Amino acid sequence: MKAGVTLRVARPTDRLDAITKMYTAGLGFAVLGEFRNHDGFDGVILGHPDQPYHLEFTAQAGHPVGNAPTQDHLLVFYVPDTYEWKSCCMQMSRAGFKEVPSYNPYWDVNGMTFEDLDGYRVVLQNTAWER
């Protein structure tokens, strides 16, 4: 892939409105787009307008999807500034994310793991990502 490609992670949910509120409050995401009854699906696309990644959450009436299949389904955000990282962690808790020990203990060394309403996890890593 060349530079300039945008990544979208799509996840189904049974709680579209609650998950949308949780991620916008917890990670400061904006609603970049949404759709209703598009071939039977409702969805919301979240992210930061200037970042090349999005999260898409979808729901299909009459088709429950349940929770995350494992505890190791992660989104990882590297936040190198300690003050900003602590602030982000507090924001996640206030948004309703539950702080949990990481399934892989590596993430607990320099990070904090949070679980959403569907059991999917977000790691806020207090280091820079080294390429």
Instruction: Say if residue 1's pLDDT is above 90.
Output: no
The phi, psi pair for 53, rounded to 5°, reads -145, 150
Are 17 and 51 within one domain? Answer: yes
User: Residue 71 has what pLDDT?
Assistant: 94
Mean pLDDT score, 67-87: 96
Residue 69 maps to a domain:
no
Range of 117's domain?
74-125
Per-residue pLDDT, 98: 98
Q: Are residues 119 and 84 in the same domain?
A: yes
131 is a domain residue: no
Q: What is the identity of the amino acid at 51?
A: Q
Number of domains in the chain: 2
For 77-96, give one letter per residue: b (16+ CB within 10 A) or e: eebeeeeebeebbeebeebe
